[in-house]
Structure 1
Amino acid sequence: MKLINSDGQNTVLELNESSVTYKDDTYDIIIHDGDISQAGHIATNNFVVKPDHVETLIERFSNRKGNVDNYQGFTGFMLIKNEQKLTVLTGWKTIEDFNAWVNSEAFQNSHVKKENRVKEKGSEHLEAMPVRENYTVEA
């Protein structure tokens, strides 16, 4: 899949059975719910995790509530790992579907409050703030 960001830069997301190639690195697929390959828009959150906290965060994602799975236009969720790097990918039919999720109360409660807390106090789990990226999928 060719992914293009708002600046026109592109990268490739190549899905394999138990791994993906993303940004020229190979990642293990830890969780894959739904079918991200059906997305027209992919949003990513890229984390660099402190070495002793990788398994803790994987466990948290494994026990996620799944609120996003019920939103219109959602196609899939994926957690991928390369050493200390974790990336969450969510697939959406359209960018409008993704924006509706971001503006929802469920998103605000689960993401914005955590993000503000990390900005204010830092994180016991992360090396730095997560980096969010949005991509249009080119067929």
Structure 2
Amino acid sequence: MSIIKINAITVPPEAGDELAKRFAARAGAVDDQDGFEGFELLQPTDGRDTWLVVTRWRDEEAFQAWVASPAFAHGHQGADAPAPHGGPVSTHSELWSYQVALSSGSRAS
């Protein structure tokens, strides 16, 4: 089954739009990577300051190959540049790793 990698990024409230803009600017950059299955950027709606970057991969080897690739380095270039308001776009991040233990298909309503 697939593995899931979640980058939990702490984002100051004034920097959320900039974070979303930066991800939109590189949308699709990972799509052709071998073993890549999907991506979502999740914005909190409950007052939290942690955004989640969720990616799905065929296996750990596919994820590690992407991290070691020039495409990864290029996509993350300038990630630590300040936001237009002068402060940081993020103040902390950590990578969480999961494997799919159980999955259910989506249902049309």
TM class by shorter-chain length? Answer: 0.7 to 0.9
Aligned to 2:11: 49
Q: Percentage identity across aligned positions?
A: 32
What is the Cα deviation at residue 65 of structure 1?
4.0
The letter for the 1-side match of 2:61 is: E
- Provide the C-alpha distance between the structure 2 equivalents of 1:110 and 1:70, rounded to a whole number of angstroms: 14
SS of structure 2 residue aligned to 1:55: helix
Task: For residues 19-52 of structure 1, give each alpha carbon's deviation from its aligned partner in whole angstroms, at most 9, with x where no partner exists.
Answer: xxxxxxxxxxxxxxxxxxxx61111111111111
Aligned to 2:58: 93
- Provide the C-alpha distance between the structure 1 equivalents of 2:64 and 2:94, rounded to a whole number of angstroms: 17
- Provide the C-alpha distance between the structure 2 equivalents of 1:85 and 1:131, rounded to a whole number of angstroms: 10
Q: Sort the Cα spacing of 1:132 and 1:114 in 2 relative to 1 into closer, same or farther, 3 A.
A: farther
Aligned to 1:105: 70
Higher helix share: 1
What is the Cα deviation at residue 135 of structure 1?
1.5
The letter for the 2-side match of 1:98 is: F
Unaligned runs of 5+ in 2: 82-86, 103-109
The answer as to whether partners of 2:41 and 2:52 remain within 8 angstroms in 1 is yes
SS of structure 1 residue aligned to 2:92: coil
Aligned to 1:80: 42
- Does 1 or 2 have the higher relative contact order (CA < 8 Å, sep 6+)? 2
Aligned to 2:96: 133
What is the Cα deviation at residue 78 of structure 1?
0.4
After TM superposition, which residue ranges in structure 1, 4 or more long, deviate above 3 angstroms?
Answer: none
TM-score by length of 1: 0.59
SS of structure 2 residue aligned to 1:109: helix
Task: For residues 57-112 of structure 1, give each alpha carbon's deviation from its aligned partner in whole angstroms, at most 9, with x where no partner exists.
Answer: 1122223242211111111000112142211011011111111111111112323x
